[in-house]
Amino acid sequence: MKVFIEPIGKLINQFTKLPGVGSKTAQRFAYEVMNMTQAEVEEFADALVRVKKDVHYCAVCGNFTDGDVCEVCKTRDKSIICVVKEPKDVIAFEKLHEYRGVYHVLHGTISPMDNVGPNDIRVKELLARIKEGGVEEVIMATNPDVEGEATAMYIASLLKTLGVKVTRLAHGIPVGTDIEYADEMTLSRALADRKPL
């Protein structure tokens, strides 16, 4: 005999599709749902469906939006573009409440190993935005891994021919970390990029 009846088993199975959720956690989630009211569960289900129906990519920057063009593209300083890999990187910057420019979401990084070339990510859309004029600086904010670095270098080389200033996020010791625990690559970059006090 099965341990779970079919509807509960199905829901547990759905929860295990979420990142970091194993069968034990999924089971706890499913039993929590059983304790919700019918209205609460319907609201939950509705939020799931609506997020897929109402949210799509911004026609300008490629970030998630529920309109045609996202709020950031509509209201912010278009002279600075911060180039990121994914929409969730935008959230990381937005949480700072410091950055006043706009974004460009690549939706991936160049990775020959995975058969992802420059034409598979939103590079030409970025070039088109810059050719329209008014852009003074492009901040390359891809991850500091092999693919992220390669993508930043590639895009920087294209942008320089267009005469736009290209910068890269600083690498160094994370704030609050002991130097003792910093990895060699990070420490080496921190040393090379040292600043006068």
Q: Does 22 bind a copy of itself (CB under 8 A)?
A: no
Long-range contacts of 102-108 (CB under 8 A, 24+ apart): 102/60, 102/61, 102/72, 102/73, 102/76, 102/77, 102/78, 103/61, 103/63, 103/72, 104/61, 104/62, 104/129, 104/138, 105/57, 105/61, 105/62, 105/63, 106/62, 106/142, 106/151, 107/62
* Residue (105 or 166) nearer to a copy of itself, CB: 105
Contacts of 165 (CB under 8 A, 6+ apart): 136, 137, 138
Q: Does 94 bind a copy of itself (CB under 8 A)?
A: yes
Q: Does 5 bind a copy of itself (CB under 8 A)?
A: yes
**Binder among 61, 72, 73, 81 for a copy of itself (CB under 8 A):** 72
Minimum distance, C-beta of residue 66 to a copy of itself, in the bound complex (Å): 5
Contacts of 69 (CB under 8 A, 6+ apart): 58, 59, 60
* Residue (75 or 188) nearer to a copy of itself, CB: 75
* Residue (75 or 79) nearer to a copy of itself, CB: 75
Amino acid letter, residue 91: I
**Binder among 61, 81, 87, 155 for a copy of itself (CB under 8 A):** 87
Q: Does 59 bind a copy of itself (CB under 8 A)?
A: no
Q: Among the candidate windows 42-50, 123-131, 150-158, 187-195, which touches a copy of itself by CB under 8 A?
A: 42-50
Q: Contact positions toward a copy of itself, by CB under 8 A? A: 1, 3-8, 10-11, 13-14, 17-20, 25, 27-34, 36, 38, 40-55, 64-66, 70-72, 75, 87-88, 91, 94-95
